[in-house]
Amino acid sequence: MFKVFITLGVVSLLGDIVYEGARSVSGAYLNFLTAPAIAAGLLAIGEVLSYLMRLLGGIIAQKTYSPRRFWSLIYIGYSVNLAIPLLALTDYWLIALILYFIERLGKGLRAPVRDVLLSEVSEGIGKGKGFGIHEVIDQLGAIAGPSILGILLAYHPDELGIGFKIGFSILGIPAILSMVAISYAYINYPNPRSVSLEKTSLTTKKLGRNYWVYLVGSTAAVTGLIYWGFISYYLQDLAKINIIHPSEIAFLYLIAMASDAIIAFPIGLLYDKYRSFSLLLTPITALFIPLSLFIHIERASLYFASILWGLSMGGVETVMRASVADIVDYSSRPIAYGIFSTAIGFSILVNGIVSSLLYQIGKINWIILMTLILEIQAIITYGVLIKLEKHRK
């Protein structure tokens, strides 16, 4: 089990090198290709497509009796990462946007199945700790990917197009290696426990009240968390007025991913001990991100905002995911992860579209207000969940 657990981490590491490298400069690249500001918000459509595919993947996983079909969702999902190297071949922002969408579809298809597998092979060490360790390994890739893009953009300061294209091409290597790692994991764990269970009808009745309260809080927290695609576009505007260098956009994302990696294991341990209390990390840190981005704009405040964004995402990718496995039983996990992922996807879309539109019409204060309202709502809702869990005990 532990061998498979580590291999799944390596698969995610390689995948993160690819898509986090491309994601770190997604808005900046669209800006470079002369896309309008709303294009940065449209990037969030890719997130929704991703999370809708997670729902589809969850439904398929819920209904399938075939281990091969179960694993094929992961194979197909990671093979779609090859859309990222194709970014090097286009100079038209709409095509680049479509390629980002294609990559997101693959991410969505593989995610619920991977999380189900991860919840099974991490039981021996604790789900919170397991998801935390996985996130640390995962984030090593999220650091490496932006580093590649940042170094190349710094090396080609007067020819950013060359830096972008070489960087996207290099990301094809880990995309291929991830397929090799998936094969190794499949050989060592060909029959997931979820596939061998008696299949149930696709119903939400077994999810329970706590799951829906948790989902409301998580949706509010992510809707208030400013979308990186928009942040990246905004940072490119700051680069145009020499507040930062264009290469720093990738490095700011690297800082965010490093912060995510640093918090992942401690917050996982906190979750194993205190459960829903650890969910408060995301809304509390997300509250201060727009203040750091838009008030008294300085290089230091931008780096602080990236740290906060990484801490917030660390909560989303560890304790939010681990909570699903503890709130619902084995038979309902695939569909529970699918619904959770879909809700999170629409939350990201709402933030991306609304933030970019407000920015385009110069209403930055409204972005700050939106974040404040939503994160306070998330904190209150998580407080209700904490009380419900105490009452259940």
Q: Quick one: what percent of the chain has pLDDT higher than 90?
A: 38
**Annotated domain spans of the chain:** 2-190+202-392
Taking the whole predicted model, whether its pTM rises above 0.85 is answered as no
Cβ pair 233, 33 in contact under 8 A:
no
Q: Is 187 exposed, middle or buried (0-12, 13-18, 19+ CB in 10 A)?
A: exposed
Confidence of residue 321 (pLDDT cuts 50, 70, 90): confident
The CATH fold of domain 2-190+202-392: Growth Hormone; Chain: A; (1.20.1250)
pLDDT score for 349: 87
The residue among 55, 64, 109, 51 whose CA lies nearest residue 200 is 64
Is the pLDDT higher at 271 or at 313? 313
| Average pLDDT of the residues of the chain | 86
Cβ pair 359, 198 in contact under 8 A:
no
The residue among 281, 12, 286 whose CA lies nearest residue 133 is 12
List of long-range contacts for 384-392, beta carbons under 8 Å, 24+ apart: 384/213, 384/217, 385/210, 385/213, 385/214, 385/217, 385/276, 385/279, 386/276, 386/277, 388/209, 388/210, 388/213, 389/210, 389/275, 389/276, 392/210
Residue 238 has pLDDT above 90, yes or no: yes
Per residue in 355-385, pLDDT (tens digit) is 999 999 999 999 999 999 999 999 999 999 8
Residue 179 has pLDDT above 70, yes or no: yes
pLDDT score for 376: 96
